[in-house]
């Protein structure tokens, strides 16, 4: 995660927490559960809370640009080809050694 993404994440966290309030710390004798007077977060029957949480998390994701995806795809393909060639070379070498030592 880059510096810019961390800053945006921190800004989003501050916006969701509200201004001037700090989250409670869980220490001895303190409860992190919501008091009985406050409403618990809940979604409706057609849009459960866990789906709303997924949407909010996906909005925070820093998605790669099209250029980054293309560059990383090229890197993966090149590394795969290079690794395949190296492993193929070892396979040929060891098969040649086996043929020369065991089958003569």
Query: Would you call 74 exposed, middle or buried from its count of C-beta atoms within 10 A (0-12, 13-18, 19+)?
Result: exposed
- Say whether 63 sits in a helix, a strand or coil: coil
If you count DSSP H runs as helices and E runs as strands, how many of each does the chain have, helices first? 3, 0
pLDDT at 4: 84
Instruction: Name the pLDDT band for 11 (thresholds 50, 70, 90).
Output: confident
CA pair distance 1, 15, nearest whole angstrom: 20
| 104 or 2, which is more confident | 2
pLDDT at 15: 81
Q: 52-81, pLDDT tens digit by residue?
A: 999 999 999 999 999 999 999 999 999 999
Residue whose entry in the numeric block shows the structure tokens 């501050």: 14
Delimit the domains of the chain by residue range: 71-104
Q: Model pTM?
A: 0.46
Beta carbons of 64 and 72 less than 8 angstroms apart: yes
């Amino acid at each position: 995660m880059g510096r810019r993404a961390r800053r945006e994440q921190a800004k989003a966290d501050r916006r969701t927490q509200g201004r001037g309030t700090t989250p409670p710390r869980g220490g001895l004798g303190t409860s992190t559960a919501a008091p009985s007077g406050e409403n618990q977060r809940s979604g409706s029957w057609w849009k459960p809370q866990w789906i709303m949480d997924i949407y909010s998390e996906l909005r925070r994701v820093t998605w790669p640009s099209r250029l980054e995806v293309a560059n990383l795809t090229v890197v993966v393909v090149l590394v795969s080809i290079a690794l395949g060639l190296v492993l193929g070379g070892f396979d040929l070498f060891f098969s040649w050694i086996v043929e020369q030592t065991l089958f003569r």
